[in-house]
Amino acid sequence: MTETLDLTHWIDGERVAADRPGESLNPSDTREVVARTPDGGAPQVDRAVAAARAAFPAWAEASPEVRSDILDRAGQLLMERKDAVGRLLSREEGKTLAEGVGETVRAARILKYFAGEALRVHGQNLASVRPGVEIQTYRQPVGVYGLITPWNFPIAIPAWKAGPALAFGNTVVLKPAGPTPATAEALVAILHEAGLPKGVLNLVIGRGGVGQALVDHADIAGISFTGSQKVGAGVAEGAVRRQARVQLEMGGKNPLIVLDDADLERAVAIALDGSFFATGQRCTASSRLIVQDGIHDRFVEALAEKVRGLKVGPALDPETKIGPAVSEDQRETSYRYIDIAKGEGGRIVTGGERLQLDLPGWYVQPTLIADTEAGMRINSEEVFGPVASTIRVKDYEQALAIANGVEFGLSAGIVTSSLKHARDFQRRARAGMTMVNLPTAGVDYHVPFGGTKSSSYGPREQGFAAVEFFTQTKTSYSAG
CB 453 within 8 A of CB 430: yes
85, 132, 383 from 280: Cα distances, Å: 22, 60, 9
Residues 19, 25, 31, 33, Cα dihedral to 10°: -40
DSSP state of 410: S
Widest Cα–Cα separation across the chain: 80
216 - beta bridge partners? none
Among candidate residues 99, 117, 249, 461, the one labeled active-site is: 249
Q: How far apart are CA 259 and CA 372, in angstroms?
A: 17
Cα separation values, 295 from 258, 304, 379, Å? 8, 14, 20
Q: How far apart are CA 412 and CA 440, in angstroms?
A: 6
Q: CA-CA distances (angstroms) from residue 337 to 79, 300, 397?
A: 38, 20, 28
65 is a catalytic site residue: no
Amino acid at 422: A
Q: Please, are residues 270 and 415 in contact by the beta-carbon 8 Å criterion?
A: yes
What residues have CB less than 8 Å from 116, skipping those under 6 apart? 68
> Which is the catalytic residue, given 92, 99, 283, 382?
283
The span from the CA of 449 to the CA of 443, in Å, is: 8
Rounded CA separation 193/190 (Å): 5
Q: Is the separation of the CB atoms in 60 and 140 below 8 Å? A: yes
- Indicate if 249 belongs to the active site: yes
**Could you tell me if 439 and 462 are in contact, meaning their C-beta atoms sit under 8 angstroms apart?**
no
Active site residues: 249, 283
